[in-house]
Structures are given as C-alpha cells and as structure tokens.
A and B are shown apart, each in its own frame.
Chain A
C-alpha cells in the first residue's frame, strides 16, 4: 500500500478536508509544489489556485484556495487557506464574470486607485477557472 500522510485543509470559516493522503499539490508563491509523505519541513505562502489531493486508495479530489499558507512536516500537511472551496462549489459563470470585470477595471486607466485590488481579483478569478479546467481534464481522461 502506498505511503500516506495526514492532511488538514482549513479555512477561517470551516474545515474542508481532514484525512490521509498519498499526494498533494498546491500553488505556492514561487510555483507549484508537489508533496509526498515524508517531505522535508516546509513553510510556504499560497497563491490563489487549485489544491489537488490523492486520497488514500487513489481517489482524486480538487479544492480551490484563495491564498494562505501551507505547512509541511514529514508526518503532517496543513493548508491554512484564507478562503477554501470544494471545486464543485465554484461558480464558473461568476468566475468568468469576475475575471472580465477585473480586466475591464485594469484596462480603464481612469480608475487607477483600485489597480492592485483588480489584479488580486483577476488572479483569483483566473485561478478559479484554472481549477475548473483541471477538473474537466481529469474527468475527460
């Protein structure tokens, strides 16, 4: 049987996942990270993006987090998300809308004040869409 490690995914509002996993991949601030059991201790910031789990037994699950932190210990992985969603709960239309809106605000030079916020919104919306696409790809396989 494959090696497993305990993983908790929590957001400020709720506990999203807690259980044994074989593998997890997250979007770190310096790029994607893949974590197998027995990984060296690591602390990283997270960017908005998908969190992909392979649970004990090989079942896949995908979540979306809007940023936060990940702590890796050889025996435990904790994802402290700002906002976490089950991928199924993401509203694709709303994400698309948010992306368009953010792009529009960024294109509009007159509202320079909200530039950083718009960038953050755009990154989030894009990450949500990326998560959905990733699921589609998995389903298609």
Chain B
C-alpha cells in the first residue's frame, strides 16, 4: 500500500490548492463588480469628450493645435496598459501580442519606438522583451486615480510636444463582457476624425472662449487623460474578470484531478485487498 499513501498526500495537496483557487475566484468576482461600476461611471465622460474631440477634428479651426496635425512618422509612442498581478489567464499576453504586432508594422517601416509601461506586468515584460521604455508606472491598485496616471502620461505628451514622437497609441484590453476581453490598440495622437456625421461636413469653426490656443490645450490634455484613465479602469475590470475565469477553471480542473486520483487510489486499495485475500486463501489451501 506504499503507492496508496503517496496518492493520498497528492490528493490532499490538490484539495489545498483548490481551496485557494476557489477563494481567489470569489475575491475576483467581488472586485470585478466594483471595477465594472467604476468603468461604467467614467464611460459617459469619456464618450462625451470623445464626441467633442471628433467634432473638433472635423472643424476647420483658425488655430491648428499640435495634436490635430498629421506629421511624418519617424518615432511612435506606445502606452501599454497591463495588470499589476498575474494569475489572470492570457489577458496580458494577448495585449502584448497585439502591441508587438503593431510595433512590428512600424519596425518594418524603420520607425523607432518609445514605450510607456503601465502596470508591473507590462514593466517586467518590456524589460525582457527589449524596447526603449521611457516611462513606467506600476502599482496602480484597484482604484486608479487620475492624478497618479497624469505624471506618466505627461512624459509621453511632452515628448510629443517636443516633436520627439509623431504618433501615440494606447494598448489595453476592452471589456466586452465577463467572458470576453478584447485587446485593442488605439491611436490617440494625432486625433483622427471617424465620425460620419453629415451635419458637420461643411466648412465651419467654433467660436472659442477665451481663445483657441488656451482652450484647446486644456481640452485636449483633459481628453488624453480621460482616455488613458478609461483604458486603465477598463483594464482593471478585465483583469478581475479574467482572473475570476482563470481561477474558476483552475478550481474545476483541481476537482477533476482529485476525482481521477481518488479512482486510482480506490483501485490500488482494492487490488491490495484482493491480493491479500488470495494470499490467505492459497496459504490456507496449502496447509
């Protein structure tokens, strides 16, 4: 029965693991609800400021802000948002893959790259993958504050202002639903007009108060901040959802494994008993 004892220890160790994973699943589920609420709360602002910026991109302003000008692309910036902690399935890897695919496109055109890594997984990934990381921020926590992100984003915006960067992308995960998270690469600078609103397809401009330059500076910086904040908050919701799912799978797998091992154990036990009986019987017959 030596094998039996080993199997028994293995079963109890897997049971321990299952307890941990199922606890993590429950923690992630409750955190996900909060993260989702936060994501929903900031969505209307992001949506509205986006529509304002779309209008702005379609207008014919007297003052062309830097962020509205298309430049020849020599160097691009990527803000890659990832999680702080692991054990969340393929979430980060999928985002990194999307980022790298996009980076490869630029590499083929001999365009250089700067990377701004957000979240410790992103930081450590680009440390090993290589790439010029100009800004890094980890430890965003469950309740990211706009104020905390601004500093990191500002590094990229300053580089853009100085003409060191000609394009800026944000890579993050989009929260489709609890089961699905979609990595997305979004161009945030220069601003692109996507809105097909026919009401705006004529030559027009805003009335600016107080003046165009000051106003646009404030508005556009606010827009970028809101975009990055939204990406981080959304990524957080994705993280919790992905972790919940990963832990649920782990718990289920642990259950399957325990069942299988239990079966092996029972068979081994039964075989041992049968053998013992046949030994006794044959022993008795010999007497």
**Inter-subunit contact B45/A43 (CB<8 Å):** no
The smallest C-beta distance from A6 to any residue of chain B, in angstroms, reads 11
Closest B residue to A76 by CB, please name it: B51
Chain A contacts to B: CB under 8 angstroms? 8, 10-15, 18, 28-30, 33, 40-45, 69, 71, 73-75, 78, 80
Q: Is the interface of B mostly helix, strand, loop or mixed?
A: helix
The smallest C-beta distance from A83 to any residue of chain B, in angstroms, reads 11
**Inter-subunit contact B44/A14 (CB<8 Å):** yes
B51 / chain A contacts, CB cutoff of 8 Å: 78
Please encode chain B, from 197 to 230, with 1 for each CB lying within 8 Å of some chain A CB and 0 for all others. Answer: 0011000111111100011101100100010010
B256 at the A interface (CB under 8 A): no
19 A-B residue pairings within 8 Å (CB atoms):
A12-B45, A12-B226, A13-B42, A15-B45, A29-B209, A33-B209, A42-B206, A42-B207, A43-B206, A43-B209, A43-B216, A44-B209, A44-B215, A69-B215, A69-B218, A69-B219, A69-B222, A71-B55, A80-B52
The docked-state distance in angstroms from the alpha carbon of A73 to that of B45 is 17
The docked-state distance in angstroms from the alpha carbon of A30 to that of B214 is 13
**Inter-subunit contact B206/A41 (CB<8 Å):** yes
The 8 Å CB contact of A41, one of B205, B215, B218, B219, is: B205
B132 / chain A contacts, CB cutoff of 8 Å: none
Please encode chain B, from 266 to 279, with 1 for each CB lying within 8 Å of some chain A CB and 0 for all others. Answer: 00000000000000
A28 and B204 in contact (CB under 8 A), knowing A10-B45, A12-B42, A71-B55? no
**Inter-subunit contact A8/B215 (CB<8 Å):** no
Chain B contacts with A in 22-74, Cβ cutoff 8 A: 41-42, 44-45, 48-49, 51-52, 55-56, 59
The docked-state distance in angstroms from the alpha carbon of A75 to that of B197 is 11
A78 and B52 in contact (CB under 8 A), knowing A12-B45, A43-B219? yes
**Inter-subunit contact B215/A45 (CB<8 Å):** yes
**Inter-subunit contact B209/A45 (CB<8 Å):** yes
Ranked nearest first, the 7 interchain pairs of A and B with the lowest CB-CB distance are A15-B44, A44-B209, A71-B52, A42-B207, A43-B206, A10-B44, A10-B45
Closest B residue to A8 by CB, please name it: B48
**Inter-subunit contact B209/A28 (CB<8 Å):** yes
B146 at the A interface (CB under 8 A): yes
B219 / chain A contacts, CB cutoff of 8 Å: 43, 69
The docked-state distance in angstroms from the alpha carbon of A44 to that of B214 is 10
**Inter-subunit contact A13/B41 (CB<8 Å):** yes
B215 / chain A contacts, CB cutoff of 8 Å: 43-45, 69
A40 / chain B contacts, CB cutoff of 8 Å: 207
B59 / chain A contacts, CB cutoff of 8 Å: 41
A33 / chain B contacts, CB cutoff of 8 Å: 209
**Inter-subunit contact A75/B199 (CB<8 Å):** yes
